[in-house]
Amino acid sequence: MLIHVKMTKSVYERMRADLKRPHDFARERVGFIFARKGNAGQDTLLLLATDYSPVPDAHYLDDPTVGAKINSSAIRSVMERAYSTKECILHVHTHGHHGAPRFSRVDRVEYNKMIPSFHNIGGDAVHGALVFSRDSAAGLIWTSKHTSPRPVSKLTIVDYPMKMQTAGTGFYV
């Protein structure tokens, strides 16, 4: 299955601008992109970003062992929205280097706890995570609560010029 994530320049720039803001104690910021599914055929899962939602400063927990840790209120608020709108939830954060990023071991451990729980909302939305480097990105999507995540195959920032790349060559974003 080809998983294609698309977002407009405005959503992408709002996300970038928020994630690069310093926090009082967290070493990095995280946020959430909401998306809806589009129909592009049986073999393609098309995720179309609708909005970027920052995590309020007060929802970060002071934990020096990780770059950023957020509290249950942050998770609850995105799940409440997704429950109402039937949107997909994509957790996003950045790595401050160039080239193709990878999810860290901590990322994967935490995502395996957090993202399947988003499926408790019900409905047919899918949920996942994206990590952006300075010029690239990678992503994982959980299509159900009990299946292993699938990699995002293609990411498009809809702009002029368009920024589009497929997995394996490093996302150019």
Partner 1 sequence: MCDDRYDRQSFLGDGAQAKIEACTAGIIGLGGGGSHIAQQLAHIGFQNYVLYDPDIPEDSNLNRLISAKVRDVKNRTPKIQIARRAIRGLQPNAKIQMIKGRWQENPIPLGSCDIIFGCVDGYKGRQELEVFSRRHLIPYIDIGIDVAKVDPQPPVLSGQVIASIPGGPCMWCLGFLTEKKLAVEANKYGDAGHNPQVVWANGVVASTAVGIAVDLITGWTGAVHDVIYLSYEGNSGLVFPHKRLTAVQRPCPHYPVDQVGDPMFINL
Residues 80 to 99 in contact with partner 1, rule: CB under 8 A: 84-86
Q: Rounded to whole angstroms, what are the CA distances from 143 to 4, 77, 90, 124?
A: 13, 21, 12, 9
The pairing of strands 2-8 and 44-54 is parallel
The pairing of strands 30-38 and 44-54 is antiparallel
Beta carbon of residue 96, minimum distance to partner 1 (angstroms, whole number): 24
Query: Does 166 help bind partner 1 (rule: CB under 8 A)?
Result: yes
Query: Does 37 help bind partner 1 (rule: CB under 8 A)?
Result: yes
Query: Does 119 help bind partner 1 (rule: CB under 8 A)?
Result: no
Beta bridge partners of 45: 3
Contact 4, 156 (CB under 8 A): yes
Query: Does 41 help bind partner 1 (rule: CB under 8 A)?
Result: yes
Query: Does 69 help bind partner 1 (rule: CB under 8 A)?
Result: no
Contact 173, 155 (CB under 8 A): yes
Beta carbon of residue 158, minimum distance to partner 1 (angstroms, whole number): 5
Which residues here bind partner 1, judged by CB under 8 A? Answer: 6-11, 35-41, 44, 46, 48-51, 84-86, 156, 158-162, 164-166, 169
